[in-house]
Amino acid sequence: MIELLSISELRRAAQRGRLEARVQGQIESLAQKETKDGKPYWEMIFADAEAKFTLRAWSDTPGYKACSELERGGFLEISGEFFHSAHFGVEAKQWTCRNLEPAEREALLGGPPELREKQQRDWQWIESCVASLGDPRLHVLCETFLLEFGARFRRTAAARKNHHARRGGLIEHTAQMMRAADAIAGVYPQLHRDLLIAGVLFHDCGKLWENVLPEDGFHMGFDECGEMMGHIAFGVELLNRLWHTIAARPEHAGWKKLTPRSDDVRLHLIHLILSHHGELQFGSPVCPKTPEACALHYIDNLDAKLEMVFTAYQNAAALAPRIFERAWPLPGNLVAPLVVFSTSANGDAENAAAQERGTAEPAQ
């Protein structure tokens, strides 16, 4: 039995040369096309919990007839000899496929074990940060959001293409931002930690409609409200609805006596959502005008950019030793990071190998 790989693993392996492998996923799209010379072929976008790639079936291959019997949304295992093409990325000239059994499909929807475990740790971190909030208004607001929308949150991507663009990616992005926010609030005691943590949780909450994936697949569809409003406007509306619903409950009547005023807390939290893109040209209706808004914008941008860099090292083609091709929207070709200083011979060898792959840890 040839090895079963995820799409991300297949991409990395194909960079190193041809290999026989199996890969499981869902058909995101399937279209019959023609080359400039009129040669027919099928083009399939194939996705799993982490990534996707485009597979072509030419008219003289076994996959061509198979594609005529497949449908969008189907779950398959594809077997073949895969390789990396400079023009098309991962390809397989000769491949066969079979439908997945129900148990295989459920396992695939859950994602690879490592990803499931990581996202579970991230979810627990988010819950622990919410539990640590001292302001009762922000604590109840964040807790209510997790209770009402947790399932939807856990299958939402942080973006369609650039970073954390996978099922559950928004959980990973939010948790990492919370870790950074918690650390930065310790360095800058002038920052309002509770407000900053709540801002991280809600800054992209509108993406629960803009970038949500279905319970039974990996295709990120389009939502009319998400398209017409965008995640920033949608997020403000969601926050206001939750806030006013919670504040109207009899058990929260005491909020009117708290300092700072509840309306001020709500206004500052709304400002974090509105300004987190940092500039008007990037979609924010207003620029950051408070310390927490500035911090949130830079934390968001930092995590998104570093995710793009780390992903690019895994997927980009090598142009030369320790130099990798540009991955859009990063500004230029990547160079492998400096390896961590080590006094052991084994450590030196491992670091050297990691640097060649672009996976080395940055120097401390």
Report the side by side order of strands in the sheet with 323-324: 318-320, 323-324, 334-335
Q: Fill in the DSSP letter of residue 333.
A: -
pLDDT at 167 over 70: yes
Segment 167-191 shows an average pLDDT of 97
* CATH 2.40.50.140 correct for 4-107: yes
Contact (CB, 8 A) for 78 and 38: no
Contact (CB, 8 A) for 350 and 361: no
Each residue of 48-82: pLDDT tens digit?
988 888 999 988 888 888 898 999 999 999 999 99
Six token digits for residue 103: 């148990």
Q: Which amino acid appears at position 232 of this protein?
A: I
Segment 166-192 shows an average pLDDT of 97
Segment 235-251 shows an average pLDDT of 97
Spatial separation of the C-alpha atoms in residues 363 and 161, rounded to whole Å: 29
Supply the pTM of this predicted model: 0.85
Each residue of 14-32: pLDDT tens digit?
888 889 999 999 999 999 9
30: enclosing H helix or E strand: strand 19-34
Segment 329-348 shows an average pLDDT of 83
Instruction: Write down how long the chain is.
Output: 364
Better-predicted residue by pLDDT, 181 or 282: 181
In the chain, % of residues over pLDDT 90: 62
pLDDT of residue 12: 84
3-state secondary structure of 168: coil
Could you tell me the residue ranges of all domains in the chain? 4-107, 116-307, 319-357
Better-predicted residue by pLDDT, 281 or 154: 154
pLDDT of residue 363: 41
| Out of 8-12, 132-136, 335-339, 357-361, least confident range | 357-361
Nearest to 338 by CA among 308, 321, 361: 361
Confidence of residue 362 (pLDDT cuts 50, 70, 90): very low
pLDDT of residue 355: 59
Better-predicted residue by pLDDT, 223 or 269: 269
- Residue 255: phi and psi, rounded to 5, are -60, -30
pLDDT of residue 358: 60
Spatial separation of the C-alpha atoms in residues 202 and 141, rounded to whole Å: 10
Confidence of residue 356 (pLDDT cuts 50, 70, 90): low
HSE of 86, CA atoms in CB hemisphere, 13 A: 3
